[in-house]
Amino acid sequence: MNKLLNKIICGDCIEILNGIETPFADLIFADPPFNIGYKYDKYHDKKEKQHYIDWTRQWMTACDKVLKPTGSFYIAIGDDYAAYVKIIAEDELKLFARNWIIWHYTFGQQTKNKFARSHTNILYFVKDKKNFTFNDFAVRTPSDRQLVYKDKRANSVGKMPDDVWDCFSRVCGTFKERQNWHPCQMPELLLARIISASSNPGDCVLDPLIGSGTTAVVAAKYGRNYCGIDISQSYVEKTKERIAQIRKQTKSSENLYLNPMEVDEIKRLFVETGLSIVQLVENNRRLEIFANQFAVRMNNHKKYDAGQLASVIKDFIGWDKKS
């Protein structure tokens, strides 16, 4: 297993994972090609239907083989094959479904003669329905009872998000995190939600189809071990470059008030809260609730300065009160 730990490997994930005898992955996130014609470097994304389903079964089975008994398995998939993925997972691999998550975004694929698609399915499974990692503190957000209504009945540690995720935008070409060398890319903040909830520091996060490298990048930033596999040598090398950049940023921030992971978590909490920057940073009560929720999310006893958090949010949005 050590030969895969914190490695980005070029090769066929089915062959590589089938060669591993001992389960090593605490969390698997897979975002396979959807079989809809994207132009990848080394993969033809328009297979005959049965061929694609058979291939899906093979890589899912290989992943299941290396997933620990307490592990979690998330799969992002389009509508056309989501049901097949669920059947393979439950009926053949005997995994337990916990959620069928809908990741909804506002600018989907445009169509001419049917409604435009503006979502991706994320299916969430575990091996053992009674023994798995789920850090609820890492995903709780302030409720409207806290932020809007000042309701004393509000849970002081926030509420659980629902299974429709509409706060994470698709990664546009103008976004800072956009990697122009890959045709499609998952948002870092979305992966942060999954990795924070379903793994712990020091756990191993596997992405068998690493693509743009986002899973490994976020895992590294959040103190997890990672393993990524892809058939494209170009994607592998560029993912290694992304990770090296994160390592460099983390090292350079060792003496700063906030590390890169904390900065990203502030951004994620702001996005998930759903308030505008004016609604949040110009209201001291809400900002204090935000700071308290952030401390819950970090699961530590540190007292975070609300002004520092507001500065991070302003920088993230590019907002200047005087402009």
Query: Is the pLDDT higher at 37 or at 288?
Result: 288
The reported pLDDT for the residue numbered 320 is: 61
The reported pLDDT for the residue numbered 1 is: 54
Sorted by where each starts, the structural domains of the chain and their CATH numbers stand as 7-133+168-252 (3.40.50.150), 260-317 (no CATH)
User: How does DSSP classify residue 136?
Assistant: G
pLDDT in tens, 194-217: 999 999 999 999 999 999 999 999
Mean pLDDT along residues 294-303: 89
Nearest to 36 by CA among 179, 166, 183: 183
pLDDT in tens, 165-187: 999 988 777 677 767 756 678 99
